[in-house]
Chain A
Amino acid sequence: MIKAILIFNNHGKPRLIRFYQYFTEDMQQQIIRETFHLVSKRDDNVCNFLEGGSLIGGSDYKLIYRHYATLYFVFCVDSSESELGILDLIQVFVETLDKCFENVCELDLIFHMDKVHYILQEVVMGGMVLETNMNEIVAQVELQNRMEKSEAIQNLSPPYLCHLLHIATSSRSLRSSSSIHLNVPPAGLSTILTPTRHPQL
């Protein structure tokens, strides 16, 4: 079972946190800090598995993480999950984000936190892996977004629409001003990233 999924940047600021086990808010922030502390100490060419934290789950849990440019993607799992499988799952998730946001970067994650949550909901549900086929995930997310938009257009009220349009345009203007991109190779090719090679900035 996956106990938590954390995404934070190189300075420890959380970009997405999802806990599949209940913790109070203080505990959650403490876990984030401890995980960042453990993960940031690691070299770039060591293995992606970490043990030694004490807050979540006691002795049974490990941290499986991947470092892309400025972001750490950390999955806290217990012994019932296959470690190499989770590593690949992180890869699938990032590729999905890339497809949904078109060359995703950290700013996308910051300003569209809720959308990232919805995408994650299609991949992991209740701490268990739900879907691993990237195309399927992207398709479902697209359909849901379309549904939301169509519903919003149905309620034609000018101030609301203004807000919507504002949101729609602002994200594009953001992308043009964003500086760092996560360059993830597109799906279908056989070049799954090995842990030793990291995407270029």
Chain B
Amino acid sequence: MSPSIPLQEMIRAIRSARTQCEERGVIQRECAAIRAQFRQADNGARSHNLAKLLYVHMLGYPAHFGQMECVRMIASPRYSEKRVGYLGAMMLLDEKQDASLLITNSIKNDLSHSNQYVQSLALCTLACMGSAEMCRDLAPEIDRLLRASNSYIKKKAALCAVHIVRKVHELGELFAPAARSLLTEKNHGVLHGAVVLITELCERNPEALERFRKTVPDLVQIMKGLVISGYSPEHDVAGISDPFLQVRILRLLRILGRHNETASDAMNDLLAQVATNTDSTKTVGNAVLYETVLTVLDIKSESGLRVLAVNILGRFLLNNDRNIRYIAMMSLQKIVGTDHNAVQRHRGTIVDCLKDHDASVKRRALELSLALVSASNIRSMMKELLLFLSSCPPELRAQTASGIFNAAERYAPSQRWHIDTILHVLTTAGGDVRDETVPNLIQLITNTSELHCYTVHKLYRALLTDISQQPLVQVACWCIGEYGDLLLKGECQETEPAQVTEDDVLDSLETVLQSHMSAPATRGFALTATMKLSTRITDNVDRIRSIVSIYGSCIDVELQQRAVEYNALFKKYDHMRAAVLERMPVIEKNSLGQTNGDFAGEAIKAIQPAIVKQGEPPLLLQPANQVCDLLDLLGGSEEPLQPSSVQSGTASGLPINNSSTAGGDLLDLLGGFEPTPAAQAPAVTVYEKDGVNLTLLCEKHSDTGLTVTLTASNSNDSDISSFTLQAAVPKSVQLHMKAPSGDFLPARGAAKVTQMVVLNNPNKVNLKMRVRISYTSQGSACQDTVQIDSFPGL
């Protein structure tokens, strides 16, 4: 077997390979040679082979066959082999491999080796990949090394102890006394290790925290020594004495001083001294200052010191160095919850950082800006945030959009502003918003009824310019479908009205339907909107009919189903079309699924008495489920359709076909009914007592106008005479009672009395009516009042 080439030659060979394939070839040859060499007994070049293997491992090739060799090398008496063996163990082994257990014994022996470098190798390996069992076995050894050895070993043993504590928490108790005594050392490396160990112990165990609070005076002393002492060349970095140790001690002081008055008092002077004396022109100085500021803000410091700290942060923020600005924003983020006003003072600078070129700085500035938004600065902040959104890097867009929505929801000064803001976000970053934005926006729009005209104009214009942002297109389609009549009226108070013809509107909807950019959900929206327009417009109903019938054979199943149903609506149920496609009611704040149920429930309850009036058995609640499913079917999750039309069918009084399945066709369900010619809205019994029965029938004939027909009947055996009705309504509603048909109710429902009441509700208040019934029955006068709160069909 030819001796394999040493490490450098192999590296040279790998580097000279011109293609990936060549390189793989070289490496495979080398690995084979290494494997052969491993199998041989002891030969002089073992360490070189392992070094080569590690190089190959770094390049990403498998090297697991070297694990046993590592174990063998660690056990070798030669330092050079031990060194490479331990390095290999740290790179190739971890606690999950079985081979790692085999090195426990070697490590144990090496920890008591005479040569300190062998000891240090063992400590290093234990600290890197020591498993919990190994740590438990070797903890007493480490403790011994912590106490009685030279400073080189002590500092390594301290960090090894940190690793052990992280792996096995209970062993923290073991190291606590040793850690305490290490604080008296002079060597900075050992001090550093001791401080790290104490920090780890305090973070894990609150009892240890209590005990180590007593060390605060010692720590303060050490810090003072570092800060005030003269120039010491060995620890000096840019004029500051051992900044790394200072930073560590400050961090430990922070942990010890948190929530504790006495400890914080002991530190106040020191912190003030460090804050004022440290030179902030160099990076190391800034590192120490930054740590000091964080400590001051975290412990119970006095207010003067806090002000000083926030000022230092403000200075950092204005620094030219981007690193410092980044650090400053990070620390401001930490205190924005507690010292909100202090941070607000720097809002201007933070908002400027949004325009920085650096992506990290932008990210920090964005988080901080979103945290700083409040009711007083919402308008200006939103302007800045929207500007940022249009130019921000793509990975930050989703966060920005959701942050803007949250802020707008909480602090919107006016509805119109809110809607404008959301529309702006949708036009700029429509692809990155969350899914629930669309229903939220729709709900917001329906709630602000005075802005319907304005909203639909704006959305129409947005639709004309760009149909690629799906959420925007969905909302726009929905609005055009709902409020298309307002769009076509051509007058609007809040914005320039567009002279839109019906054809234009249908054109734009058709573009959305046919565009390849539209998602299936969007096309569903557009189709439904087109259908809704059939009741809002007058001329082009045929065009709508043709559009809808085309999609009856669409490949997309969802669209096809909708189109077929709408077709049916045109053909067989044309009389119901107006009611089906009426204006939506205001959506409640609950999830829309619940709303579906609510509406259906109310309407059903109202219908049942109607059936009673005709002597039929009451409807079971089964239809409620079917109706809910019906609503699901027709409108998807976002569009609860008017239940009134379906109720008109059920009001016919025939028992519903209960066997209709949950997802059953609209056609099947409607087919179970006999369409009643008169019933456009349900007749509700509002009063039933002593045989007198009063029912109410609503008919809406305009946006604000409503005709209520009250029908009275008498199921007693005796006649009723002088039957009169009086009605009262809320103040803003206008009432006009027409002449009743009569005032005599014969027995056993032989004839009825009807009275029409015309109501006008311009302010669209919640409609209530109080009706007083007075009549004479069997010689005695009776009077009763009934309050009607719900008007089905409204």
Asked if A155 and B189 sit within 8 Å, CB to CB, the answer is no
Majority secondary structure of chain B interface residues (helix, strand, loop or mixed): helix
Q: Mark A122-148, 1 if CB is under 8 A from B, else 0.
A: 000111111111011000100110011
Category for how many chain A residues contact B: 35 or more
Asked if A160 and B189 sit within 8 Å, CB to CB, the answer is no
Chain B residue numbers with a CB within 8 Å of A190 are 238-239, 282
Residue of A nearest to B118 (CB): A147
Asked if A163 and B45 sit within 8 Å, CB to CB, the answer is yes
B665 interface contact, C-beta 8 A: no
Which of B58, B156, B286 counts the most chain A CB atoms within 10 A?
B58
Select the stretch in B77-85, B626-634, B718-726 that faces chain A.
B77-85
A101 interface contact, C-beta 8 A: no
Interface positions, chain A 76-119, Cβ under 8 Å from B, are 82-85, 87-89, 92, 110-111, 113-114, 117-118
B95 interface contact, C-beta 8 A: yes
From the candidates B51, B62, B95, B244, name the one contacting A129 in the complex (CB within 8 A): B244
How far is B59's CA from A88's CA once the two chains are assembled, in angstroms? 28
How far is B79's CA from A155's CA once the two chains are assembled, in angstroms? 12
A47 to chain B, nearest CB (A): 4
Known: A89-B244, A121-B124. A194 touches B321 (CB 8 A): yes
A148 to chain B, nearest CB (A): 5
Residue of A nearest to B44 (CB): A160
Asked if A132 and B117 sit within 8 Å, CB to CB, the answer is no
Select the stretch in B157-165, B567-575, B780-788 that faces chain A.
B157-165
Chain B residues with a Cβ closer than 8 Å to the other chain, count: 81
B247 interface contact, C-beta 8 A: yes
B361 interface contact, C-beta 8 A: yes
Known: A43-B357, A117-B87, A190-B239. A87 touches B54 (CB 8 A): no
B235 interface contact, C-beta 8 A: yes
Asked if B326 and A49 sit within 8 Å, CB to CB, the answer is yes
Known: A117-B87, A126-B128. A133 touches B235 (CB 8 A): yes
Interface positions, chain B 143-177, Cβ under 8 Å from A, are 152, 155-156, 159-160, 162-163
Asked if A46 and B359 sit within 8 Å, CB to CB, the answer is yes
Known: A84-B283, A136-B189, A160-B45. A170 touches B327 (CB 8 A): no
Residue of A nearest to B97 (CB): A22
Chain B residue numbers with a CB within 8 Å of A135 are 234
Asked if B124 and A87 sit within 8 Å, CB to CB, the answer is no
Chain A residue numbers with a CB within 8 Å of B7 are 111, 114, 167
A15 to chain B, nearest CB (A): 8
Tell me the total A-B contact number using a CB cutoff of 8 A: 189
Asked if B327 and A83 sit within 8 Å, CB to CB, the answer is yes
Chain B residue numbers with a CB within 8 Å of A18 are 91
Residue of B nearest to A161 (CB): B44
Chain B residue numbers with a CB within 8 Å of A47 are 321-323, 325-326, 358, 360-361
Chain A residue numbers with a CB within 8 Å of B363 are 51-52
- Spell out B's residues near A (CB within 8 Å): 3, 6-8, 11, 15, 44-45, 48, 51, 54-55, 57-60, 62-63, 78-80, 83-84, 87, 91, 94-96, 115, 117, 123-124, 127-129, 152, 155-156, 159-160, 162-163, 188-189, 192-193, 196, 233-239, 242-245, 247, 251, 282-284, 286-287, 290-291, 321-323, 325-327, 330, 357-361, 363, 395
A-B pairs, 8 with minimum CB distance: A126-B127, A84-B287, A47-B322, A46-B358, A22-B94, A160-B44, A29-B60, A132-B244
A-B contact pairs, 25 of them (CB 8 A): A16-B58, A22-B95, A49-B360, A82-B251, A83-B323, A84-B286, A84-B290, A111-B7, A113-B51, A113-B55, A114-B84, A118-B87, A121-B124, A125-B156, A126-B160, A128-B196, A136-B189, A140-B152, A147-B117, A151-B80, A160-B44, A167-B6, A167-B8, A171-B8, A196-B321
Given contacts A52-B359, A128-B159, A147-B79, 20 further A-B contacts (CB under 8 A): A17-B58, A22-B129, A25-B60, A46-B358, A47-B325, A84-B327, A87-B323, A88-B243, A113-B58, A117-B87, A121-B124, A126-B163, A128-B163, A130-B155, A130-B193, A155-B78, A160-B44, A166-B6, A190-B238, A195-B323
